[in-house]
Amino acid sequence: MLRTPIRRMATAARQSLKIGLIPADGIGKEVIPAARTVLEALGSDIPKPEFIDLLAGWEVFTRSGSALPEETVETLRECDGALFGAVSSPSRSVTGYSSPIVALRKQLDLYANVRPVVSVAATPEEKPAVDLVVVRENTECLYVKQEVLTHTAQGKEARATRLITERASHRIGKMAFDIALGRPRKQVTIIHKSNVLSVTDGLFRETVRGVPAKYPGQYDSVKLEEQIVDSAVYRLIREPEIYDVMVAPNLYGDIISDAAAALVGSLGLVPSVNAGDKFVMGEPVHGSAPDIEGKGIANPIAAIRSAALMLRHLGYAQGADRIDVAVDQVIREGQVLTPDLGGSSSTNDVLNAVLKKM
């Protein structure tokens, strides 16, 4: 079960939960409605949800010239939380286009992307073979998207600016330590490449290492380790059990969490939340999957689990637990699985199986 404690926002008692829904592109339009249905099925375990459908993505850009309408951002500021589906960002440069999910993370200051990767054990009592959390800094690194293409006598030359700041490194480090405090092993591993990038990764490494000293006594029970990113990926594949909470700059965190997803069977199982101090947005780790769009076979579990993570962040652990227990039962029984997990079930088949277990 993905009972990953993350920093819960201080919230007043609510009569309802206002949740923004941004399916965006591809299979996002299939898995986000499934997550909504599961939230609706929780009944009195959460305040009555009020859903607001919002626009963003490549398809919106092709129609309107904006991948992230200002109305979407302003509406989200009035919501308690949100769910984002997937975006079909082109691999080529398109004038005027920028990834809406990257923009949302920056505009709403969702500085942490928290990605639990947990295998489902054969029985509820057994320890999962893989049980780790990737805590990815969400606003900096190469994702500041400051790229320049110039022409030289030798041909084209492309340069990208990589930004690492002490402020961002400190707060993502503190988020990682806070998460580790709520887990049995209480271990944080810093992922970096400061043996080569001694200035940028060096600043990230030293800042995260310095977090406990700024909060005397608070993190004494947390064991701190570090790993060079390339060897971290190797060890992740060979011995995932050595990791508990992995904290990394933006790019490394993205790559590591996708690699970790292979250890539990599919990207279609791995959820995340984009979290800040004032807002949280669930987001399945998988992409828009254009090859299966519209076929009704997209795995909705990552989106459903992302909804549970969102609830947990908002303080509704009982509702989140109901979702996670139901999902675990469906996976454990192995009778209703989408093709990415070797089955032949549809998106709706999996949704209905989860609802039945709830």
Catalytic residues: 143, 193, 230, 254, 258
User: Using CA atoms, how far apart are residues 8 and 276, in angstroms rounded to an integer?
Assistant: 10
Helices (H), the chain: 28-40, 58-64, 70-76, 100-107, 166-181, 200-209, 211-214, 229-238, 250-261, 301-314, 317-333, 347-357
Compute the 3-state secondary structure of the chain and give helix, strand, coil in percent, each to the nearest 5: 40, 20, 40
Q: Which of helix, strand or coil describes residue 330?
A: helix
Structural tokens at position 191: 């992922």
Residues 163, 167, 172, CA angle at the centre, nearest 5°? 90
In Å, how far from its chain's centre is CA 264?
16
Residues 205, 270: contact at Cβ < 8 Å?
Answer: no
Handedness of CA 22, 26, 29, 35 (dihedral sign): negative
Say which residue the tokens 């795995």 belong to.
299
Tokens standing for 40? 């609706």
341 contacts 266 by C-beta, under 8 angstroms: yes
Angstrom distance (rounded) from CA 312 to CA 124: 20
Rounded distance, CA 331 to CA 107, Å? 36
Spatial distance between the Cα atoms of 110 and 106, rounded to a whole number of angstroms: 6
Count CB atoms within 10 A of the CB of residue 193. 19
Residue with tokens 């790993």: 227
- For residues 221 and 181, is the Cβ–Cβ distance under 8 A? yes
